[in-house]
Structure 1
Amino acid sequence: MLDYTGCPLDRTGRRVHGVGPDRRDPRAGTVGRAGHVEGLVDAPARRKKILLVDDSDTALILERMILNRQSYELLVARDGQEAIDKALAERPDLIVMDVMMPGVNGFEATRVLRSKEPTKSTPIILVTTRSEAENMEAGFESGCTDYITKPINGTEFLAKIRTCLKG
């Protein structure tokens, strides 16, 4: 199990320190000459790409602060149309999108992305300040994978992102 920063946790929920190739953890391989890690696959892992979509600078700053420690590649769009264009061009692993934006809103952008072959299975988390049941229902009807309300709780936000990226 990992905490919100990605640090391993023991059975009691405490952080496990000293884990990794530099600490000779047998699960992580051994460090050979020239600093190469032996016993692991040589191909570098591709960083997961997340597209953040919001017209609010404050919301984008908060989302980036939460995600910056996680080694994700972050892309930004300011409205629904830009999100559609970037998603089709960049093919992110996950889209986190505000619902209420000028022009193309999050519901409309989600419907368009679900209709396009390159993004039809890309997980989409819709974010909004409204927590009423009808808005959540509209979000799921538009094709979103999950829903989160503002103000964003960092722990919940990361948990939903990790769950969507695993699927």
Structure 2
Amino acid sequence: MSEVADTTTEPADDRVSNATPAEGDIPDATPEGSGLESEPTEDAETFPRNYVEKLRQENGRYRQRASEADSLANRLHTELVRATGKLADPTDLPFNADHLADAGTMSAAIDALLEAKPHLAARRITGDIGQGAQGNTGTVSLIDILRGTTG
């Protein structure tokens, strides 16, 4: 048996790949003469720095207002649900902007929630539970209590 040594294989560290990058691969550096430059061309639109900063500040104010509006809308939704008196905890109904525009939609959503989860309904205690203000029982006298008569 004769052994043939493979002399064409080189270690991976010494190889240099001249292959073109596959689709989706990003080359490490821009090849020379490719027409791509790192400097902006004269045709590119640029705006003065102070104008861009002004636009960014204005955009920041709008984002803050939008955040505040979202917060206020959530609070309004919670209070409208609380005003119905149907739920023990008004935050049990998730926020939906449609509920703010149409009271019928909110009422239907609350009814659907209560049908699915009746334990979320508000409970009202009615009747005499033995506490609080009661009708006038007359005068109380220690002597009458000792004699066993009330009057």
With structure 1 as the length reference, what TM-score do the two structures score? Answer: 0.16
Larger-gyration structure (1/2): 2
Query: Per residue, is there more helix in 1 or in 2?
Result: 2
With structure 2 as the length reference, what TM-score do the two structures score? Answer: 0.17
Which of structures 1 and 2 has the larger relative contact order (alpha carbons within 8 angstroms, sep 6+)? 1
Query: Per residue, is there more strand in 1 or in 2?
Result: 1
